[in-house]
Amino acid sequence: MDKSSVGILIFDDVEVLDFAGPFEVFSRARTVPGLESRWDEDSAPFVVFTVAKTKNAISAVGNLQVLPDYDFDDAPAIDILVVPGGVGARALLEDTQTLDWIKKVHTTSALTSSVCTGSLVLAQSGLLANRRATSHWGALDGLAKIDDTIDVDREARFVNDSIMTSAGVSAGIDMSFHIVEQRCGRDVADDTARFMDYPLVRDSL
C-alpha cells in the first residue's frame, strides 16, 4: 500500500507530548482493525520520523534526550509536516535556517500542521497569513502580535484552514486523529483511538 510520510520537527526544549503524541497516533494507525495488525507495518498507512537541524541529540522539556532520525539535509520527502511547540519554539522565531526549511517543506507537503506554540513558528514563517489558527492559550496574544492578519481562534481544540493548528500540548493528539480520519476514514481513526484507549474529540472549526 502507498504510505504517507509524517515528518515531525524536533528541537531543544520541545514539549514532549507535542511531538510524542502525534508520533504515537500516526505510528499506531492501521487500516486493518484489531490488536494483531499493530505488531507489523503491513497495514500502516503512515511512515513516521523525526527531523532536526542536525543529528545531534536534542534535549526536550524535562531533559528527555532524543536522537533525530534525520537532519534538514537528508530528510526524505514529507507528506505531512508537524511543527510542535514548547519553550524552545521561541528560539526558532529567530532561527532563519529552521524557518527556511519549514517554508521549503511546506511548498511540497500535502499538509503542514502545528501543535501548541508551533503555530508561532508557522506564523513567523509567514504561512498563517490571512488564515484562521490557534495555539496554546498562553500564546494566543503572541500569535496575533506576530501577524495581525491571522484570525486567532481562542476556543477551538484545533483549526483546519488549509494549514492545521492545534491548541496546547495534548490537543495535538486530537488534531492528529483528525488528520488520520481525513486521510484514512473514520473507522481507522476510531480503531486507532480504541487501541490507544483515547477518547476522541472531534472539534475542527
Question: Could you give the CA distance from residue 168 to residue 15 in angstroms, rounded to a whole number?
Answer: 10
Q: Considering only CA atoms, which of 149, 159, 171, 2 is closest in space to residue 84?
A: 171
Question: Could you give the CA distance from residue 122 to residue 129 in angstroms, rounded to a whole number?
Answer: 9
pTM here is: 0.96
All residues at 6 or more sequence positions from 193 whose CB lies less than 8 Å from its CB, including other chains: 177, 199, 200
Give the pLDDT band of residue 205 (cuts 50, 70, 90).
very low
31: pLDDT strictly greater than 60: yes
Share of the chain above pLDDT 70, in %: 97
Give the pLDDT band of residue 200 (cuts 50, 70, 90).
confident
Q: Give the single-character DSSP code of 73.
A: T
